[in-house]
Structure 1
Amino acid sequence: MLDKTADFWERQRKAPLYETLERHARRRPHPFHVPGHKMGSSFDRAGKERFESVFPLDMTEISGMDDLHQPEGVIAEAQALAAEAFGAEETRFLIGGSTVGNIALIMAVCRPGDKIIVQRNCHKSVFNGIMIARATPVYVVPAVDLGTGVAAGLRREDVERTLQAHPDAKAVFLTNPTYYGMGIDLVKMAATVHRFGIPLLVDEAHGAHYGFHPSLPHSAMQCGADAAVQSTHKMASALTMSSMLHIQGNLIDRGRLARALAMIQSSSPSYLLLASLDLARRHLVMEAAGEWNRLIPVLDELRKRIGGLDWVRLASLSSNSVYTTLDPFKLMLNLYTRSLTGFTLQKLLEENGVFPELADLGHVLLAASAGTSQEDVDALWRLLQELAPEPAAETVRIFQAGVLASSFLREQVMPMHEAADAGRETVPLEAAAGRIAAEMVIPYPPGIPLLVPGERIDREVLELLKELRASQARFHGVKNARLETIEVHA
């Protein structure tokens, strides 16, 4: 989707931070500074061969390397190039994943007691940010996609009604796209939110590649959001933990945001991760489109083949969809069989060398990217083709539409931060009905809390948690990882 001048392309060919690190390494300097491995001279013998090519780039804030927390040199230049590429007024590199970006945004817009309108199926980092800021969340429950049974994005009319009921809210925070690649019309949503004079904040963790190819949806910045946090390592090519925060407009106090980032990001950020952000931006602008042009027909053929199987279907846009965009690189397998759950299918795939992104009771999510090969796709198809579970009618699907969304309709009895700090006791999960949660219960992935501190545990969510536990789902946020017990307000 980029249509830029010759000067733009000339600037974007540069990777100033990475190039500075390379020049310094070629000098073969004598490092009397941290880190202690001294550009690889001292390291575990067995691991040294694997890591030795990157040791010289693992720098610290020596002369010429700039400082992430006060950027004035090559980091500032790299961030400016990223802002230009992503269509932002300002971009901040994040070392700590999108988590630190989400938390910092909430700290920037909310003071204790302030209201913030939040999509209830946000990532756990959003809830943690609300707890740290001691803000008051006003939840909007997402629409459920009837074709897959998963919670998708927010309806604009639901957000507008919530804004009318809470005119003192300081911001709207939503997720777009979802983990499954589903998205809403952000242009209309931004216009709605801005009529109330507050910023639209977007967790765009899974959309770092958006806006860089005609087959992809527009990015949050292109749609008018005030801030977007992207996990550049998820669907683009940065190293894991490397993310970006993009900002535009005057509705966010950027000084307060900078102070929040300084508090929650390491004072010793990894230059390897920072350099990977510099290179990932250049790759998105200069090279990724060619790789996607190769991949898209391969995935289209895979979709046709999967369409011939009677026990599984792929998520797809239709006139009945509650979402308006779908990431072509996210392949969500929806199971229509009694013989397999998403978890058992995941296990079968992994036993044969194919590792999905995530599974739940009725789905397996596969995340392709510019790095996905024909060999990868062929291996997946061979396994799916060999499986022949008995198909089931749509009316008896394992994971019925509506279960996930209704699981978000909890009674918030007390503020999250108060419930997390209050007295607590441990009870068997089966005995928790009616009690007030004191811990966050987060099936992971995708990292979306089913319970947050202060919510009343009802029978419906209890049954869902028991079913997830029986399927050996992993949980974050809980003291007992197998969810045999749960902590509740005493």
Structure 2
Amino acid sequence: MVSKDAFWQRQRRAPLYEALVRHSRRQPHPFHVPGHKMGRSFDREGKQQYGPLLPLDLTELSGLDDLHQPEGVIAEAQALAAEAYGAEETRFLVGGTTVGNIALILAVCRPGEKIVIQRNCHKSVYHGVILARANPVFVVPAVDPATGVAAGLRQEDVERTLKEHPDAKAVFLTNPTYYGMGIDLRQMADVVHRFDIPLLVDEAHGSHFGFHPELPASAMQSGADAAVQSTHKMGTAMTMCSMLHLRGQRIQRSRLFQALGMIQSSSPSYALLASLDLARRHMLTEGVSELERVLPLLQRLRERLASLSWLALPELTENSVFATLDPFKLMLDLRTQALSGYELQQVLEEHAIFPELSASRHVLLAASTGTSAADVEKVWQVLERINPPQTGGVYPIIQTGGIPSSSFLREQAMAMHEALDADRAPIPLEAAEGCIAAEMVIPYPPGIPLLVPGERIDRQALEWLLAMRQQKLRFHGVHDPNLATIQIVT
């Protein structure tokens, strides 16, 4: 049994970061990449901001280990992360959760094999299915009736799907959602494991889970076989930095690590990797006390916002379609037709408050351990002064997160990878009903595809796309970013 003192003695270290600092202090003569030579040659103005970081922007040198064959300080840093996050093994990712999701699917699926997938998952999951040439079996999420936002999967739906498809190789779901809604992962893991297949979790927005009693348990704590966390989203790592956590023997790890080696850069940023090392240490040594500081601020803000008749926040009740709710996600749900989410975003940004995303009816604020009392007070001061006329009724739900579950039910006329390889042509969006999509249409954020290659474009999908285009939403995955035309299979 490992003592607590030994645990904390280990976790106070940041071996990769420490190795970079030691190397830079030697004042070495760098005859290696990158070309800025530890900051000696760099844009003069930019160096004022980047300067302190450049000496740590190193490469695979003696004593600094190799991400693709970790045996030294990177291996030690990853082992500390696994211990901290409750995993058996952890791998650092510098291509975001995207590369972790793709690698997991490549590891569990061979061409033609089935994988059960949450239909409102991130686009990277679809990309993994396409690269693996796997066959997705989609499960429609529950939808929160109060906000119109697609939440997580129901256990009974997953169990029924696995009975109908006993040859499925894994279940891949998202928990929590972009909006912080989650399911009972422990019960879901029990359901999936009865079929002796792995439960894979995109936990991009849950890297802080499990570190405070008021936060939901993490996927590792709940029995998942693999979880990918965007440590840069709700943690303190630099952008692009994620961790892949593993438990159990249901995933062939050699195949997984081979996939990671193919899709991660062969020249990973050591400055980014070291930020993962520091983010882990920070969460344990400073982050917990910061959680204690921020959580009461957010609770007080929720109580004050409850006095505003024109907006509401999701609440966890006995009748909720979600089982957990992240207190760090504040989804402002508008209850007036006089103000849209886009207009509210403009008002907030005029006061230097920059939300995570906006939609026709919602604005999402993402707090973290770095949120200050002044940040929270400013939000209240601005929202308190808004007094939209009460027009009776709610702003129509036409936005990226609030897509009813029925709109995910669409004929998959051909496999996604076959549709991408097929001959295609652009046609006016208005004329696309009945055609087979040749591209992925992804309202962004949050990056959840409304239409995937190989799906037949029905009337409902077309109406949603026309409405989103009218609202000037941003789209990823499309040839025409204005969506005047759409690529179809010819």
Cα gap change, 1:81/1:200 in structure 2, threshold over 3 Å: closer, same or farther?
same
SS of residue matched to 1:169: coil
For 1:315-344, what per-residue CA distance to the aligned partner results, in whole angstroms no more than 9, with x for missing partners?
A: 111122100000010000111111122122
Q: Deviations over 1:50-107 (max 9, x none)?
A: 1010011000001000000000000000000000000100000001000000000000
Q: Is 1:182 the counterpart of 2:164 in the alignment?
A: no
SS of equivalent to 2:338: coil
| 2:210 maps to amino acid | G
SS at 2:150's partner residue?
coil
Amino acid at match of 1:145: D
Cα deviation code 1:349-408 (max 9, x no counterpart): 1222111001122111100000011111122112111111123545x4421897432221
Distance 1:336 1:232 in 2: 33
- Mapped pair 1:483 → 2:474: no
Q: Give 1:257 shift.
A: 0.2
Deviations 1:393-438 (A, max 9, x none): 45x4421897432221111100000001101110111111111111
Q: Residue 422 of structure 2 corresponds to which residue in structure 1?
A: 422
Alignment correspondent of 1:258: 257
DSSP-derived class of the 1:101 partner: helix
The amino acid that maps onto 2:204 is: A
Does residue 171 of structure 2 align to residue 198 of structure 1? no
2:283 is the alignment partner of 1:284: yes
Name which of structure 1's ranges 345-354 and 69-78 shifts more when overlaid on structure 2: 345-354
Residue 32 (structure 2) aligns with? 33
Kept in 2, the 8 Å contact 1:108–1:253? The answer is yes
Secondary structure class of the residue paired with 1:283? helix
Compared CA separation, residues 4 and 132, structure 1 to 2 (3 A): farther
Q: What does residue range 327-346 of structure 1 map to in structure 2 within 5 Å? A: 327-346=326-345
> What's the counterpart of residue 96 of structure 1?
95
Verify the 8 A CA contact 2:337 2:392 in the aligned structure 1.
no
Q: What is the deviation of 1:348?
A: 2.0
Q: Which whole-Å deviations, capped at 9, do the CAs of 1:240-278 have from their partners, x for residues lacking one? A: 000000001000000000100000000000001100000
Task: Give the equivalent residue in structure 2 for 1:361.
Answer: 360
SS of the equivalent of 1:54 reads helix
1:55 aligns with 2:54: yes
1:442-480 per-residue CA deviation (whole Å, 9 max, x = no partner) reads 011100000000001111121111211221211100011
TM-score by length of 2: 0.98
Alpha-carbon distance between aligned partners in 2 of 1:474 and 1:397, rounded to the nearest angstrom: 20
Distance 2:350 2:472 in 1: 16
Q: Which residue type is aligned with residue 420 of structure 2? A: A
User: In the TM superposition, what whole-angstrom CA distance separates every residue of 1:90-138 from its partner, at most 9, and x where no partner exists?
Assistant: 0000010000000000000000000000000000000000000000000
Residue 210 of structure 2 aligns to a residue in which SS?
coil
Unaligned regions of 5+ residues in structure 1, if any? none
SS at match of 2:440: coil
Is structure 2 residue 393 aligned with structure 1 residue 398? Answer: no
Superimposed CA distance per residue, residues 160-212 of structure 1 (whole angstroms, 9 cap, x where no aligned partner): 00000000000000000000000000000000000001000000000001011
Q: Judge conservation of contact 1:153–1:178 (CA < 8 Å) in 2.
A: yes
Partner of 1:139: 138
Q: Which residue of 2 aligns with 1:471?
A: 471
Q: Give the distance between the partners of 1:356 and 1:39, measured in 2 at CA.
A: 35
Paired amino acid for 1:486: I
Tell me the equivalent position of 1:79.
78
Q: Distance in 1 between matches of 2:405 and 2:390?
A: 25
Amino acid at match of 1:378: E
Q: Give the unaligned 5+ runs of structure 2.
A: none
Q: Answer whether contact 1:183 1:325 (CA < 8 A) is retained.
A: yes
Contact 2:198 2:250 in 1 (8 A): yes
State the partner residue of 2:270. 271
- Which residue identity lines up with residue 200 of structure 1 in the other structure? L
Q: What are the equivalent positions in structure 2 for 1:208-227 lying under 5 Å apart? A: 208-227=207-226
Question: In 2, Cα distance between the equivalents of 1:421 and 1:347?
Answer: 41
Where does residue 388 of structure 1 map in the other structure? 387
Structure 1 residues 337-346 or 396-405, which shifts more? 396-405
Counterpart of 1:447 in structure 2 is 447
C-alpha distance in structure 2 between counterparts of 1:391 and 1:230, whole Å: 41
Q: Secondary structure at the match of 2:145?
A: coil
Paired residues of 2:147 and 2:402 also in contact (CA < 8 A) = no
Q: Output the CA distance in 1 between the equivalents of 2:65 and 2:433.
A: 54
Once residues 485 and 381 of structure 1 are traced to their aligned partners in structure 2, the CA distance between those partners, rounded to angstroms, is 42
Whether the 8 Å CA contact 1:341–1:398 is kept in 2: the answer is: no
SS of 1:488's equivalent? strand
- CA separation in 1, counterparts of 2:189 and 2:206? 17
Note the C-alpha offset of 1:45: 1.2
Code of the residue aligned with 1:388 in structure 2: it is N
Give identity over the alignment, percent: 67
CA distance, structure 2, for counterparts of residue 52 and residue 153 of structure 1: 44
Structure 1 residue aligned with 2:461 = 461
Cα RMSD for the two superposed structures:
1.3
8 Å CA contact 2:94–2:240 kept in 1: the answer is: yes
